[in-house]
């Protein structure tokens, strides 16, 4: 099994290299001149040239790429010129914020979508089936930023139920000691329930926004997979053997139907990370998404490269995790390989 | 059965989460009273005013964490708002200062009780180190120092521990004011030197994220992109301490969220107010939940620039035609909701006095615009582009749309190009955006200072029109070192006249700096750098 | 053929939602074609006196900050939004489907190259990649179409690859091969038509995503140049007016956007039912 995982990791290397090259070329194609931007308002041509040299932008593109790779090997992702911080520090501090949000979004979405999908599959063509389809499809049809704004407007501004959209914690709570970077976990580790509640409250609206957006693909996939499994031979056999319907659906069929759903999770996660960028902007969420947007608009190379690299690695890691999960759930996969 | 379980489980989860929110009450109600929560669109990107690429958003940190030798005095504006006074220079870290008879040197006596945040005394050595740093690191700080003839370390002399002298190549009226701007802040040189390296003698790396000041506030925590927290420095000797113990500068990119936070009373001050919001609150006349204080930004203009080196804008008649086509009234009403001082429609043909900015003699007159275009040989119009800064799109975009529509009426077909904020300056530097909507303001409140950057043939980035006219250059250069008030006035009026006739830059309005604040906030002061000065702000 | 028709009729009558989606699709297309003639006002004409008016009988959706009629703007925007969606899907289809079929059919190196390229694109968070492309190339309609097409390509390539792979040794392919057809000919004339229906389903689904993508780009300021009306930009512009109480500026374009995406998504489901009853979801 370890060999299998090793092989799986190796097979991801080409796409990571591809990502590196594409990002590098893309960032260099961005319009604007970072040197002119950072030289300040009243800079002369010479001052700009000087900054260009100090940023290493006077070298040829292949040279810049090699310098970049060398730094990368040493774990140096460069400095963000906009925030003045090393990119690695920025990403390490911001990543948990994005992950906490995205993962919770995914969990909530799964908790709602999977039961919905199962319900729809057990009664295809019924009112529940149609309602499920319409509701989830409507969710994915709303731009995530619009849903977010709408929720803020109604729940915070009009009704005052939700807390202010001010990032991860209300201003007057102090951040928990960093262990995992996930506020929900760190506060519990400290036993600080008050702060835990505050952090959870801040999470509700953005998490709902993200979840609404991803209900559809998950519910749809669950339904399809359930339908297929319910029509399969072993379910028919089980039925013929007189096993109770509930046991058939929830023990045999459900377990088997989860395989394709788990595969979909990978795609949905990537989809969520993209939507996350916009949602973070709406909720002033201090994650890596907002960081990337700002860097992109400032033609700030290092953060964009760092961001994309992190994303790519995460994606690879996630797919790996899914593959392993697959092996756990369905031992046949392991034997075949 | 099970699906019901699923449903109730999920809905129960949501309900529990919402209930948790309802129950949550901030624990620290007491500290709320002594804490000032300030909302900004974007925050500082460096704690070091001399740093490479330090943005104007960072001035707020530098201004409150550091002191300077001198500062500007204060005055009360006609509407009761406090403002800095560009005509008065007062000592800050200096106790007194004397200018030599010939104006070629200024000697400062330092206060003996002032200390840095680490408790060490502020001495002339620190002042020299800080000034040396400002003129040596290059980029913006060096440039700003130069504006006051402060160029070389040799000019800065330590006479004794508490006496400091600046030598000047020639008498310059801008030298002293230039020492009161944000750049010549005084750093704790002993502390800085501990963090300097051979490669980095000025401790640029360390200073980016740390505090080496003696100002009224010290840095508690800075999370770039999120918040900056400052705490009151109890050892500050520069004046009366504010009753605010902590300042939290919170970055909220969405204007709608900033408005909501203010209306719900969750924040005390909102700095980046869209004109629409401030006009609505001003219209309420103080009956609303919070108030807005608006002060016209001195020596600044929002304008339409026409690149004079590009056809057909090399022809002054075409430029005047555009100036007559601009729908000024509509722009004031729909784009900025009246939050600006109109700079059009003067009845005189020339400048009324030597003040700047002042209204230009152009008003919307499409017939006249068409006639001028025809005289210039463009009766059938032409095609062009209007460029705007995406970062300033709230006002610039409607302005561009209205301008585009109006130009269409005289046969000029324009498309609109939105340039992301960070790239706007490099786009302006290229001087190839034929029509652009931009703004410029000078820190030092002198017309010749504005013209030196904005109209002079040296072609600085702020001369976005690439306007070059030897007659203009001569007038600006003479006025720069003119010490006779009457002659100075005449020269200023002459170059304003030239700017009106040649019309490379069509003024739209003088911008207003609007700051929203809750009704219990007092003591707000307008400063040339447009950032908040927490030293005078009190929370009632 | 009659069997297919019967099947379509069966699906439509059995599933009223699909029928509804088809009707809605027709309506949207009509709006796209006739919008500019149906619009009661010039969508670009400003009117300072009528700024920010709430919905009324004269202005069904109200007016925006410059006094432009929102109903006209939403209606006229239909053509551009559909245009972006169609163009990007067509482009994706052309690149993705062909590459995918070739990969599945030939296998070997072709498969590896196509697979790796698709993996590389998929390793980006897709929206961020689109942002990068538009930021680098400039925000024109063409570049938005291109960016959207690029990020969707891997999906098509994968579906096409899988389907072509299954069919590469199918009876009808063997028959064509035996009768002396070249591989390229088989690819284009036998395999492509055979998997076309499955790809059409994908098209309908990505169409909605293309519109959402363009809207997202507009929201962060990388959309189409003003004053051209486009749903995403209209929503983004309107978002600023929501808290100050002018909800209609964002709401109506948002609804239009939602209805269109909704329609494409339902349509995709419906098409899938027709094309592949087995995989009915």
Say whether C265 and A271 touch across the interface (CB within 8 A): no
| Of A40-44, A52-56, C11-15, C28-32, the least confident | A40-44
pLDDT bracket for residue B16 (50, 70, 90) = very low
Cα(B52)–Cα(A47) distance, integer angstroms: 11
Say whether C242 and B256 touch across the interface (CB within 8 A): yes
Cα(B40)–Cα(B57) distance, integer angstroms: 9
- Whether residues A35 and A107 share a domain: the answer is no
Cα(A183)–Cα(A96) distance, integer angstroms: 9
Token pair 């019309």: residue: B503
Q: Which of residues 215-254 of B touch A (CB under 8 A)?
A: 223-226, 248, 250-254
| Chain CA centroid to CA B251, Å | 18
The answer to whether C200 and C275 have CB atoms below 8 angstroms apart is yes
Which range of residues forms the domain containing residue A53?
2-58
Which pair of tokens denotes residue B352? 């009324």
Cα(A216)–Cα(B524) distance, integer angstroms: 51
What does residue A253 show for φ and ψ, rounded to 5 degrees? Answer: -65, -50
- Whether residues A93 and A207 share a domain: the answer is yes
Which pair of tokens denotes residue A243? 């096993």
Q: Which contiguous run of DSSP H or E holds residue C127?
A: helix C126-137
Chain B residues with CB-CB distance to C246 below 8 A: none
Other Cβ atoms within 10 Å of C98 Cβ, number: 17
Cα(A252)–Cα(A230) distance, integer angstroms: 9
- Chain A contact for B429 (CB, 8 A cutoff): yes
Residue B443 sits at the vertex; the CA angle it makes with B438 and B449, to the nearest 5 degrees, is 85
Q: Which chain B residue is nearest to residue A249, measuring alpha carbons?
A: B2
pLDDT at B8 over 70: no
pLDDT tens per residue, range C210-267: 888 888 888 777 878 878 899 888 888 888 788 778 889 988 998 999 899 989 888 8
For residue A203, the domain's CATH number is 1.10.3720.10
Q: How big is chain B by its Cα radius of gyration, in Å?
A: 26
- Whether residues A233 and A314 share a domain: the answer is yes
- Whether residues A148 and A233 share a domain: the answer is yes
Evaluate whether residue A235 is within a structural domain: yes
Cα(B66)–Cα(B186) distance, integer angstroms: 6
Say whether A142 and C216 touch across the interface (CB within 8 A): no
C194 vs B98: which has the higher pLDDT:
B98
pLDDT tens per residue, range A198-209: 899 999 999 999
Evaluate whether residue A79 is within a structural domain: no
Other Cβ atoms within 10 Å of B434 Cβ, number: 22
pLDDT bracket for residue B227 (50, 70, 90) = confident
- Chain B contact for C51 (CB, 8 A cutoff): yes
The answer to whether A20 and B119 have CB atoms below 8 angstroms apart is no
DSSP-assigned beta bridge partners for residue B72: B89
Q: Could you tell me which of C92, C111, C91, C109 has the C-alpha nearest to residue C101? A: C111
Q: Which of residues 94-133 of C touch A (CB under 8 A)?
A: 116-117, 119-120, 122-128, 131-133
Evaluate whether residue A101 is within a structural domain: yes
B316-325 helix and B393-409 helix, angle to the nearest 10 degrees: 110
pLDDT number for residue B418: 85
Q: Could you tell me which of C95, C110, C152, C108 has the C-alpha nearest to residue C127? A: C152
pLDDT bracket for residue B3 (50, 70, 90) = very low
The 3-state DSSP class for residue A285 equals coil
Evaluate whether residue A80 is within a structural domain: no
Q: Which contiguous run of DSSP H or E holds residue A318?
A: helix A301-329
Evaluate whether residue A77 is within a structural domain: no
DSSP character string of C193-228: HHHHHHHHHHHHHHHHHHHHHHHHHHHTT-SPPTTS
- Whether residues A130 and A218 share a domain: the answer is yes
* B383-389/B435-441 β-pairing: parallel
- Whether residues A22 and A96 share a domain: the answer is no
- The CA-based diameter of chain A, rounded to the nearest angstrom, is 86
- Whether residues A274 and A180 share a domain: the answer is yes
- Whether residues A311 and A169 share a domain: the answer is yes
The answer to whether A275 and C127 have CB atoms below 8 angstroms apart is yes
Q: Which chain A residue is nearest to residue B38, measuring alpha carbons?
A: A171
DSSP-assigned beta bridge partners for residue B27: none
- C150's CB contacts (< 8 A; 6+ apart) are C92, C121, C129, C130, C133
pLDDT number for residue C21: 87
pLDDT tens per residue, range B237-285: 888 888 899 999 998 888 888 888 898 888 999 998 889 999 998 888 7
- Chain B contact for C225 (CB, 8 A cutoff): yes
Token pair 């830059």: residue: B505
Residue B6 sits at the vertex; the CA angle it makes with B5 and B9, to the nearest 5 degrees, is 80
> Per-residue confidence of chain A (337 residues) as pLDDT tens digits?
567 667 767 777 777 788 888 888 887 877 767 777 666 655 667 777 877 887 778 888 888 888 888 888 888 888 777 677 788 888 888 889 999 999 999 999 999 998 888 888 888 778 888 888 888 888 888 888 888 888 888 888 888 888 888 788 877 777 788 888 888 888 888 888 888 988 999 999 999 999 988 888 888 888 888 888 888 888 888 888 888 888 887 777 887 788 778 877 877 887 787 778 888 888 888 888 888 887 877 677 788 888 888 887 787 777 777 777 776 666 555 443 3
Residue B489 DSSP code: H
- Whether residues A54 and A93 share a domain: the answer is no
Evaluate whether residue A73 is within a structural domain: no
- Whether residues A152 and A43 share a domain: the answer is no
Evaluate whether residue A126 is within a structural domain: yes
B186 vs C100: which has the higher pLDDT:
B186
Query: Which among A18, A36, A58 is the end of a domain?
Result: A58
How many structural domains are present in chain A? 2
- B236's CB contacts (< 8 A; 6+ apart) are B214, B215, B216
Say whether B425 and A38 touch across the interface (CB within 8 A): no
Cα(B64)–Cα(B242) distance, integer angstroms: 12
Which pair of tokens denotes residue B403? 């301008």
Q: Which contiguous run of DSSP H or E holds residue B256?
A: helix B255-263
Say whether C221 and B420 touch across the interface (CB within 8 A): yes
Residues composing chain B = 540
What does residue A201 show for φ and ψ, rounded to 5 degrees? Answer: -60, -40
* Ramachandran region, residue A212 (left: φ > 0; alpha: ψ -120 to 50; beta: rest): alpha
- Give how far Cα A214 sits from Cα of A108, A254, C14, C148, C261, Å: 10, 20, 27, 19, 14
Evaluate whether residue A296 is within a structural domain: yes
User: ipTM score here?
Assistant: 0.79
The 3-state DSSP class for residue C56 equals coil
- B454's CB contacts (< 8 A; 6+ apart) are B440, B442, B460, B462, B463, B505
- Whether residues A16 and A116 share a domain: the answer is no
- Whether residues A16 and A97 share a domain: the answer is no
First to last CA, chain C: 24
Q: Could you tell me which of C87, A137, C222, C216 has the C-alpha nearest to residue B390? A: C222
């Amino acid at each position: 099994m370890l060999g299998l995982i090793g092989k799986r990791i190796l097979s991801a290397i080409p796409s990571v290299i591809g990502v590196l090259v594409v990002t590098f070329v893309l960032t260099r194609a961005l319009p604007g001149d970072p040197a002119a931007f950072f030289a300040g308002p009243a800079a002369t041509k010479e001052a700009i040239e000087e900054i260009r040299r100090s940023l290493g932008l006077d070298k040829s593109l292949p040279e810049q790429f090699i310098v970049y790779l060398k730094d990368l090997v040493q774990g140096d992702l460069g400095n963000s010129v906009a925030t003045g911080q090393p990119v690695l520090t920025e990403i390490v501090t911001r990543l948990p914020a994005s992950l906490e949000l995205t993962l919770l979004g995914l969990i909530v979405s799964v908790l709602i979508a999977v039961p919905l999908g199962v319900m729809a599959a057990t009664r295809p063509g019924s009112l529940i089936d149609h309602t499920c389809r319409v509701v989830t499809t409507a969710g994915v049809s709303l731009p995530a930023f619009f849903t977010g704004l709408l929720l803020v407007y109604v729940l915070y501004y009009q009704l005052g139920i939700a807390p202010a959209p001010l990032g991860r914690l209300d201003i007057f709570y102090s951040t928990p000691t960093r262990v995992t970077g996930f506020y929900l976990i760190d506060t519990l580790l400290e036993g600080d329930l008050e702060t835990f509640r505050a952090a959870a409250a801040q999470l509700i609206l953005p998490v709902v926004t993200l979840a609404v957006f991803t209900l559809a693909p998950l519910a749809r996939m669950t339904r399809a997979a359930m339908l297929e499994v319910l029509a399969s031979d072993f379910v028919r056999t089980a039925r013929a053997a007189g096993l109770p319907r509930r046991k058939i659906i929830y023990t045999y069929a459900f377990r088997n139907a989860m395989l394709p759903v788990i595969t979909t999770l990978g795609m949905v996660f990537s989809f969520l990370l993209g939507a996350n960028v916009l949602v973070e902007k709406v909720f002033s969420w201090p994650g890596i998404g907002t960081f990337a947007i700002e860097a992109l608009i400032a033609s700030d190379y290092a953060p964009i490269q760092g961001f994309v690299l992190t994303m790519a690695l995460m994606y690879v890691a996630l797919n790996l995790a899914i593959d392993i999960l697959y092996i756990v759930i369905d031992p046949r996969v392991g034997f075949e390989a | 059965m099970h699906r019901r379980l699923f449903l109730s489980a999920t809905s129960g989860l949501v309900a529990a989460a919402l209930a948790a929110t309802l129950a949550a009450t901030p624990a620290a109600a007491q500290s709320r009273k002594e804490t000032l929560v300030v909302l900004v669109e974007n925050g500082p990107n460096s704690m070091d005013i001399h740093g490479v690429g330090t943005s104007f958003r960072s001035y707020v940190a530098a201004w409150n964490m550091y002191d300077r030798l001198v500062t500007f005095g204060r005055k009360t504006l006609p509407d009761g708002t406090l403002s800095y006074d560009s005509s008065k220079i007062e000592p800050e870290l200096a106790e007194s200062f004397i200018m030599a008879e010939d104006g070629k040197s200024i000697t400062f006596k330092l206060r003996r009780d002032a200390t840095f945040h680490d408790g060490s005394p502020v001495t002339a050595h620190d002042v020299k180190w800080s000034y040396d740093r400002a003129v040596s690191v290059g980029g913006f700080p060096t440039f700003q120092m130069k504006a006051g003839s402060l160029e070389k370390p040799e000019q800065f002399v330590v006479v004794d521990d508490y006496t400091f002298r600046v030598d000047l190549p020639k008498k310059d009226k801008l030298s002293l004011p230039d020492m009161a701007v944000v750049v010549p802040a005084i750093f704790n040189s002993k502390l800085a030197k501990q963090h300097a390296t051979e490669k980095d003698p000025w401790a640029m790396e360390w200073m980016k994220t740390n505090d080496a000041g003696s100002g009224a506030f010290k840095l508690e925590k800075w999370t770039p992109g999120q918040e900056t927290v400052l705490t009151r420095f109890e050892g500050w000797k520069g004046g009366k301490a504010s009753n605010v113990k902590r300042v939290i500068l919170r970055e909220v990119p969405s204007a709608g969220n900033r408005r909501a936070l203010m209306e719900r009373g969750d924040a005390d001050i909102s700095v980046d107010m869209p004109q629409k919001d401030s006009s609505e609150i001003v219209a309420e006349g103080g009956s609303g939940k919070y108030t807005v204080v608006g002060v016209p930004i001195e020596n600044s203009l929002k304008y339409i620039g026409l690149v004079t080196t590009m056809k057909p804008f090399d022809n002054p008649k075409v430029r005047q035609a555009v100036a007559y086509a601009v729908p000024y009234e509509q722009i004031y009403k729909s784009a900025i909701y009246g939050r600006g001082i109109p700079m059009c429609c003067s009845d005189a043909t020339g400048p009324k006095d030597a003040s700047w900015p002042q209204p230009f003699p152009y008003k919307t007159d499409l017939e006249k615009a068409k006639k001028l275009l025809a005289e210039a040989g463009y009766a059938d119009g032409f095609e062009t582009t209007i460029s705007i800064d995406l970062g300033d799109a709230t006002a610039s975009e409607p302005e561009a749309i209205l301008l585009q529509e109006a130009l269409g009426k005289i046969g000029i077909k324009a498309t609109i190009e939105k340039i992301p904020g960070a790239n706007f300056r490099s786009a302006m530097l290229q001087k190839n955006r034929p029509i652009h909507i931009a703004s410029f303001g000078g820190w030092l409140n002198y017309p010749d200072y504005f013209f030196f950057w904005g109209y002079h043939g040296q072609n600085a980035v702020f001369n976005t029109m690439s306007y070059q006219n030897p007659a203009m250059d001569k007038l600006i250069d003479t006025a720069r070192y003119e010490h006779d008030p009457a002659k100075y006035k005449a020269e200023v009026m002459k170059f304003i006249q030239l700017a009106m006739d040649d019309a490379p830059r069509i003024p739209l309005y003088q911008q207003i700096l609007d700051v929203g604040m809750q009704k219990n906030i007092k003591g707000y002061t307008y400063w040339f750098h447009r950032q908040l000065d927490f030293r005078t702000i009190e929370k009632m | 053929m009659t069997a297919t028709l019967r099947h379509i009729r069966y699906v439509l009558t059995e599933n009223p939602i699909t029928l509804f989606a088809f009707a809605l699709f027709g309506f949207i297309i009509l709006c796209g074609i006739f919008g500019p003639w149906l619009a009661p006002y010039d969508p670009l004409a400003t009117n300072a006196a009528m700024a920010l008016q709430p919905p009324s009988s004269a202005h069904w959706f109200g007016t925006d900050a410059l006094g432009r009629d929102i109903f006209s703007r939403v209606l006229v925007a239909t053509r551009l939004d559909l245009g972006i969606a169609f163009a990007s899907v067509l482009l994706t289809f052309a690149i993705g489907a062909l590459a995918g079929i070739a990969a599945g059919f030939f296998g070997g190196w072709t498969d590896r190259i196509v697979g790796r390229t698709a993996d590389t694109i998929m390793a980006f968070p897709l929206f961020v990649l689109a942002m990068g492309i538009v930021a680098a190339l400039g925000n024109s309609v063409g570049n938005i179409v291109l960016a959207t097409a690029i990020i969707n390509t891997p999906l098509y390539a994968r579906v096409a690859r899988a389907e072509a792979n299954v069919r590469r040794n199918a009876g009808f392919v063997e028959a064509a091969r035996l009768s002396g057809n070249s591989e390229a000919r088989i690819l284009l004339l036998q395999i492509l038509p055979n998997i076309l229906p499955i790809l059409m389903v994908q098209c309908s689904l990505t169409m909605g995503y293309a519109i959402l993508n363009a809207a997202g780009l507009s929201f962060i300021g990388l959309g189409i140049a003003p004053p051209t009306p486009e749903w995403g930009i209209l929503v983004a512009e309107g978002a600023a007016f929501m808290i100050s109480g002018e909800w209609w500026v964002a709401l109506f374009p948002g609804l239009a956007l939602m209805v269109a995406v909704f329609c494409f998504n339902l349509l995709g489901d419906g098409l899938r039912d027709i094309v592949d009853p087995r995989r009915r979801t």
